[in-house]
A = this chain, B = another copy of it.
Amino acid sequence: MLSSDRGAEVGRTTIKDVSERAGVSVGTVSNVLNAPQRVAPQTRERVLQVVSELGYRPNRAARGLQARRTYLIGYLLPERETNVNTALDSFLHELVSTASPHGLEVVLFAPRAGQTALEGYRDPIRRGDVDGFVLSETNYDDERIALLSRSGFPFVSFGRSLAEDPFAWVDVDGASGIADAVRHLLGAGHRSIALVAWPEGSESGDDRVAGYRRALTRAGVAPNPLLEVRCLNGVDQGRKAWRRLSLMDSPPTAVVAVQDQLAIGVLLEAQAMGLRPGVDLAVTGFDDTPAGALLGLSTVRQPLREVCRLLVEHLVHRIEDPWADPGHDLVRPELVIRSSSGADVINAPRPRAGSELHRYRRRYRR
């Protein structure tokens, strides 16, 4: 019955409604909202009173029309097949939550059927649907960055890239994340630590490989090229990777994977061979996916909240001052230790992989 109950009626309240009810001009109402100091305290109070009574909120489209803004930022959903970032759910949550306080909402796009991802950006830009774009799954020679840079359209990238011109980006220090994992395994006594990585040529992939080698080298363990397996993403690939590694004369006692999916594959295949994860074989992943958590997979977790906070911050700067130098940030991920790397085992004795492995190898070796 209260007037506030009626704020949600079909016809939206406009600034004119407020001005009439408060007995002032629309300009004054606008000033109350945007430049309160220019309005007499008395009128200001009266107007604010009416504003709250009517539940008035300035219309975003109208505001944007005159300000040449949309107060919207765009995110083009990555194709599911190529989607390396399995944490899309959390990412969007954080992105929306951190953008909202800036008065920005997130609009989702997807390339239409038969359209390339690149083309998916063009239309929204042309119609001025958004003030800027957030990119993710960025790679070395990302065409999107070239396109957006050239067009001068504000954007920020989750992930570094090679590009002629500077652009705003935020990235997770994958090298240091993987290095943490390696150090964790070294600390548990492992000396033969394998790496399951993607083929060379991806920004985040190569970055993580570098971290692996660095951590080993710094600990005085010479990286063994035979312990580096390359494959595409996916659980099956992980399984295959472990099958290969297990056939070595002296198989590794630990595996560091550059992604949870791969790690899960390794884990499952090792389990199928009768090895106990965390005991007979230590495994770590990357991304902290739900599936990994489920299986007790130790992993490197990306600080998505922090990442999104920075992404939005940079993007707002790009929008407000496209001429300023684009900034960037590298944030450190966090190592999450679970049972797959012997969370329960304190100073565990060397995994005794021998017996089960021999059994397996006798069975499968051709």
Contacts and interface: CB of A to CB of B under 8 A. Distances in A.
Contact of A90 (B80, B112, B150): B80
Classify chain A: how many residues form its interface, as a range: 35 or more
A126 interface: yes
Interface string A48-61: 00000001111111
Q: How many copies does the complex hold?
A: 2
A137 to B, nearest CB: 13
A125 B123 CA distance: 26
Interface of A: 7-10, 12-13, 55-62, 64-65, 70, 72, 77, 80, 83, 86, 88-90, 92-93, 96-97, 100-101, 105-110, 112-113, 122-123, 125-129, 147, 150-153, 235, 264, 268, 290-291, 294, 322
A9 B151 contact: yes
Given A8-B125, A110-B97, A62 B60 contact: no
Given A9-B152, A58-B127, 10 more contacts: A8-B125, A8-B147, A57-B123, A61-B62, A61-B65, A65-B65, A88-B89, A97-B110, A101-B112, A235-B294
B77 A92 contact: yes
Q: Report, nearest first, the 8 A-B pairs whose CB atoms are least far apart.
A: A8-B151, A291-B291, A57-B127, A57-B126, A61-B61, A10-B152, A96-B110, A106-B108
A12 B72 contact: no
